[in-house]
A and B are shown apart, each in its own frame.
Chain A
Amino acid sequence: MAVHAFAKSSGRRKPLPGGASNHSGWRAIMFLLPSWLLLAVFFFVPILLTFYFAFTNLSLTGTSSLATKFIGFQNFVSMFQDPTFRISVIKTIVFLVFSAVIGQQVLGLLLAVLMNERHRVFRSAIGVLVIAGWVTPEIVVAFIFYAFFSDGGTLDTFLSVFHVQPIAWLYAFPMVSVIIANIWHGTAFSMMVYQAALGDVPKEILESAAIDGAGRFQRFVRVTLPMIKGSIATNMMLITLQTLGVFTLIYSLTGGGPGNRTMTLPIYMYQQAFSDYQLGYGTAISLILLIIGIVASFVYLRMLKVKL
């Protein structure tokens, strides 16, 4: 279908200047075909299947795995009556807002602003420390913070200086713990985005603002922020979507527990689908996750007024 659309469109393309007109429409198809094939089979088919399975009682074991039935909206009806589902929506939002929207975004911007115009060596020295967290694979991040937050672990060692009794942070403050771990892992990404963006802000404008008597803070709010608006919105979208899908970190750090205290939607989906054998119900949860992702990107795109 879509390939077809492209065949048509590329035939009608405006001829490019200087000899480009000898490129016929099928070339465009040839270039796009591999990506479309891959995306169609492994991306769009599973998404369509998600819509289908979400309305079935498909299960991993037991009778309904053989006799899978179409059950209409039953999964969604139970979902909205399921207190754990409600909890996990809230947990997902908390995790998203605090670890990505606030944590990574603000800390990343702060780092980039503070590092801007510092000495090169100093910049890269601090930069490397922050980027180390980003380069570290998610699962190792989980181990590191497992040790960091464990009863008698690194954090307790440091706090013992202030005579704080050892605390098993992952059990006492599980959500705070996974949020901190995710900030540690993700901040470098935002920092690098903003470093690149700040590098594009022309110095002359800032200087002339300074001459006009604008203070450091005013210059940042009045000049810099509007100029990097595009990067902020793009970054916001990217990290929002990355964070919505975070599974490995939480799964290996807390497994969603204790109780349901870090049960974000991806974890709940996994539990329902694979540990509790309810593939259909798990898929229905996935569908909600997909919809949240789509809505979030739509909102950001609107905010951005992106033109592609």
Chain B
Amino acid sequence: MKWSRAKADTILVHLVLVLIGVVFVIPLLWMIFAAFDGNATLALQVPQHWTLGNFWAILSDPANQRSFVNGVIISLGQSVLVVIVAGLAAYPLSRYQLKYKRPFMYTILFSTSLPITAVMVPVYELFVFLHITDSIFWTTLFLAASGLPYAIWIMKNFMDSVPIELEEAAWTDGASAFSSLRKIVAPLMLPGISTVGIFTFAGSWGNFFVPFILIQTPSKLPASVTIFQFFGQYGSVEYGKLAAFSILYTIPAVVLYVLGQRYMSTGFQFGGATKG
């Protein structure tokens, strides 16, 4: 009796999960069907003739190619910068007994809370004042700064979990703090580094607002802005191309997720982060 009730429970749980999974996948269907359909509309329909034409149309446009390159430069640049700078900052925060550590960490935590959207007007004015508008480099640097608080916070928590004993051995061998960070801590931090890197890349790759405001020259715009412009211009006409563009644009984020996925589960352990 009891056994069968447990079994019924199990079946129910599986059913509920499958149902949720199906509900989650339904919105994606349109994008996939439409991308391969030469005559896509907004309606959900299986293409009568499957075609790659939409993809070629997007890929063969030099402006789109350039925007993808720009996007990779910005997002990759930002991720690398964030990982290095946050890693450096996390080291003393994790290893040294700093007197002002607590206020510093509070500041960092508060900073993660500030919606970047909210400071764009002053940021733009600042860029004009410093004569650095319309620059991929400075935009990347700004994005890196905006990703830092979150990254430092996660990095510090990861670093706390790397046992200090390993470093102590290196120190007695005369290694500097920097080289022990590089040679001993960094390899053990790989999960943390990939979590931060992937989070940053994904956030940056999808960020349309910041480059939309800070970059003016069309040839410097990243894919996030061109896809938005494409939607505005042709979105209500060229549905197939929009879907194909969306898929192409989603690929880098998926690839990165697949690559870093095995490290990521530990990246979500926030329980320990708050126990102090």
Contact between chains at A195 and B121 (CB < 8 Å): no
Looking at A70-78, A79-87, A97-105, A153-161, the stretch in contact with chain B turns out to be: A153-161
Contact between chains at B125 and A18 (CB < 8 Å): no
CB B208 to nearest CB in A, in angstroms, measures 5
Is A121's CB within 8 Å of the partner chain B? no
Contact between chains at A35 and B206 (CB < 8 Å): no
B 250-276 binary contact with A (CB < 8 Å = 1; else 0): 100110010000001110111111111
Residues of A within 8 A of B272 (CB): 200, 230
Contact between chains at B92 and A31 (CB < 8 Å): yes
Is B80's CB within 8 Å of the partner chain A? no
Q: Interface on chain B toward A: helix, strand, loop, or mixed SS?
A: helix
Q: Within A36-72, which residues are at the interface with B (CB < 8 Å)?
A: 36, 38-39, 41-43, 45-47, 49-50, 52-53, 58
CB B179 to nearest CB in A, in angstroms, measures 12
Is B34's CB within 8 Å of the partner chain A? yes
Contact between chains at A9 and B98 (CB < 8 Å): yes
Is A211's CB within 8 Å of the partner chain B? no
Measured CA separation A170–B74 after assembly (Å): 33
Contact between chains at A43 and B111 (CB < 8 Å): yes
Measured CA separation A231–B242 after assembly (Å): 38
Is B135's CB within 8 Å of the partner chain A? no
Q: Within B1-52, which residues are at the interface with A (CB < 8 Å)?
A: 9, 13-14, 16-18, 20-22, 24-31, 34, 41-44
Q: Which listed residue (A20, A23, A50, A192) contacts B122, Cβ 8 A?
A: A50
Contact between chains at A306 and B274 (CB < 8 Å): yes
Measured CA separation A239–B268 after assembly (Å): 13
Measured CA separation A152–B13 after assembly (Å): 33
Residues of A within 8 A of B26 (CB): 148, 154, 158
Residues of A within 8 A of B190 (CB): none
Closest residue of chain A to B168, judged by CB?
Answer: A18
Is B205's CB within 8 Å of the partner chain A? yes
Contact between chains at A129 and B168 (CB < 8 Å): no
Is A172's CB within 8 Å of the partner chain B? no
Contact between chains at B270 and A248 (CB < 8 Å): no
Contact between chains at B14 and A118 (CB < 8 Å): yes
We find that the number of chain B residues with CB closer than 8 angstroms to chain A is: 105
Residues of A within 8 A of B112 (CB): 238, 241, 297
Measured CA separation A308–B31 after assembly (Å): 44
Closest residue of chain A to B29, judged by CB?
Answer: A154
Closest residue of chain A to B16, judged by CB?
Answer: A114
Residues of A within 8 A of B142 (CB): 42
Measured CA separation A306–B153 after assembly (Å): 13
Q: A10 with B276: in contact, given A154-B44, A184-B24 (CB under 8 Å)?
A: no
Q: A144 with B117: in contact, given A38-B141, A139-B208 (CB under 8 Å)?
A: no
Contact between chains at A145 and B231 (CB < 8 Å): no
Contact between chains at A129 and B24 (CB < 8 Å): yes
CB B140 to nearest CB in A, in angstroms, measures 11
Residues of A within 8 A of B96 (CB): 10, 13, 16, 23, 28
Supply 29 A–B pairs (Cβ within 8 Å), ascending by A: A5-B100, A9-B100, A9-B101, A10-B98, A13-B97, A20-B168, A27-B178, A42-B142, A42-B146, A49-B119, A53-B121, A107-B20, A111-B17, A125-B21, A136-B250, A138-B206, A139-B208, A140-B31, A146-B235, A148-B27, A148-B30, A196-B271, A199-B265, A231-B274, A234-B273, A241-B113, A248-B208, A269-B118, A283-B122
| Among all A-B residue pairs, the 5 with the closest Cβ atoms | A245-B115, A307-B276, A9-B99, A137-B206, A49-B122
Q: Which residues of A contact B (CB under 8 A)?
A: 2, 5-6, 8-10, 12-14, 16-20, 22-23, 27-28, 31-32, 34-36, 38-39, 41-43, 45-47, 49-50, 52-53, 58, 107, 111, 114-115, 118, 122, 125-126, 129-133, 135-140, 142-148, 150-154, 157-158, 184, 192-193, 195-197, 199-200, 216, 228, 230-231, 233-235, 237-238, 241, 244-245, 247-248, 252, 266, 269-270, 273-274, 279, 282-283, 286-287, 289-290, 293-294, 296-297, 301, 304, 306-308
